[in-house]
Structure 1
Amino acid sequence: MTHDYEIHTITNHGLGERLAAVSREAGARGGTIMVGLGSASSTLLRMLAIGDVEKDVLVTLVTAAEKDAVYNAITGNSLVRSRKHAGISYCIKLGDEPVDTNTHYELITVISNRGYAEDIMTAARKAGARGGTILHARGTGKPEDGKFFGITIVPEKETVLILAERTNSAAIKDAISTLPCLSTPGIGILYCTPVSEFRLLGKNAATDGKK
């Protein structure tokens, strides 16, 4: 089966499994849950060491026919609507069809060797990013096994996900790519993906989402 959309839902830790069940009831065939760190934009929260909290990242693949029902079930569920701030959810169009370049948001993804995520997020926030999610990962082989886009695959990696408005995504990308710590060739890669739909999760979703 060919899937047309990838739905990403970044929510409070512990809600991922429950939203995955909701998505299956709405027609999704399954999903993948990863645990990451949400990096808050508040300087005070970071100083108090409570700005970075665990988040569930639910990735759901759906067809075009399934997308609306599954997306509405996730974002409109009482599990998230009863909370003031419950995260975000957005859709990414898959396949070879032309991508709508008039979308309001882009997903900036940075994959780097472990230890650079905080520097990346600091630079992104200074350039206008409101926050991001950090995922810890492992490479797929030993250093001598090969390279991916010139990067030697090593065990420890960090993936930083930043949802940015198109109006300031270029500034955020420039701020990250010019970091001195990322100047060494092969230290990481950065790429962008247009986001077709975006919604806030929680009590304010009706007024702040659906862009």
Structure 2
Amino acid sequence: MKTDHPQYALCVFIVPGDKGSRLVNYMGELGVAGGTIIPAKGTSSDKWMQRLQLAENHKDLVFIAAPVDQSNQLMKQVASHFKFEKANRGIGFVMPLQRIVSKAGQAHKKQPTERVNEDMQKYQAIYTIVNLGDGGLVVKAAADAGAKGGTIIHGRGAGDGETAKIFAIELEPEKEIVLILVKAEIVDEVCAAILDTVDLEHSKSGILFVQDVISAYGLVQ
């Protein structure tokens, strides 16, 4: 007998370092339990912030899987509760999931779904995995091409011979992953600028990939 399972989307939040646990707890109050919090470093391309040494600060990167038909409303509630419309309070976006395995071990595959509105096609997420210390170069190259800051995550192994995993990609301790959210219209330019700077194609020292964003909140225009 075939059972219909809910389809899922990935809610991603970047918030100040003391807010990740609160956000996960609030999502639990809204009916979505669980989540993953990863310490990260926020960056800003704002020159005044850089002069005040406030351009880099501790952030929590939070991943929470939610039913796709509830994800947009959940994101709105979180954005309102944590006041994402104010500067430096946080941003959030939703990405489609092709496949998720539940705690019960059942694999749920994504079914084709329509976007809620055209605004949801405005942004895409660029992920770049580079050698440790090159994350800042990626952010600067992206900023020069029109991006507004980014988030740098340091890979660290759990023990001898082990590696961290993000999106099922093994991330060795000497690597960094850079997450940058940009308007879809400049994705090609930003990717080209990053590749020109860190030369991933020839050095084989990392990887760059782009993922669609369903909706986004709290972004600086």
Q: Say if 1:90 and 1:198, in contact at 8 Å, map to a contact too.
A: yes
Corresponding residue to 1:94 among 89, 94, 97: 97
Aligned mates of 2:57, 2:147 — CA distance in 1? 17
Q: TM-score w.r.t. structure 1 length?
A: 0.80
Cα distance, 1:186 vs. partner?
Answer: 1.9
Say yes or no: does 1:20 pair with 2:38.
no
Aligned mates of 2:135, 2:33 — CA distance in 1? 32
Q: TM-score w.r.t. structure 2 length?
A: 0.77
Aligned mates of 1:152, 1:108 — CA distance in 2? 17
Aligned residues: 196
RMSD in angstroms over aligned alpha carbons?
Answer: 3.0
The one-letter code matched in structure 2 to 1:167 is E
**Identical aligned pairs, as a percentage?**
27
Cα distance, 1:87 vs. partner?
Answer: 1.6
1:156-167, aligned counterparts within 5 Å? Answer: 156-167=174-185
Match of 1:41 in 2: 45
The one-letter code matched in structure 2 to 1:30 is G
Structure 1's consecutive aligned runs of 4 or more residues displaced over 3 angstroms after TM superposition are: 81-85, 96-102, 139-143, 151-154, 180-184
Aligned mates of 2:134, 2:113 — CA distance in 1? 31
1:108-127, aligned counterparts within 5 Å? Answer: 108-127=126-145
Aligned mates of 2:84, 2:54 — CA distance in 1? 23
Aligned mates of 2:218, 2:88 — CA distance in 1? 8
Q: Say if 1:27 and 1:66, in contact at 8 Å, map to a contact too.
A: no
Aligned mates of 1:44, 1:116 — CA distance in 2? 23
Aligned mates of 1:192, 1:100 — CA distance in 2? 20
Other structure's SS at 1:14 match: coil
Cα distance, 1:23 vs. partner?
Answer: 0.3
Aligned mates of 1:173, 1:49 — CA distance in 2? 27
Q: Say if 1:112 and 1:187, in contact at 8 Å, map to a contact too.
A: yes
Gaps of 5+ in 1: 146-150
The one-letter code matched in structure 1 to 2:43 is S
Q: Say if 1:99 and 1:194, in contact at 8 Å, map to a contact too.
A: no
Match of 1:174 in 2: 192
Cα distance, 1:47 vs. partner?
Answer: 3.6
Match of 2:208 in 1: 190
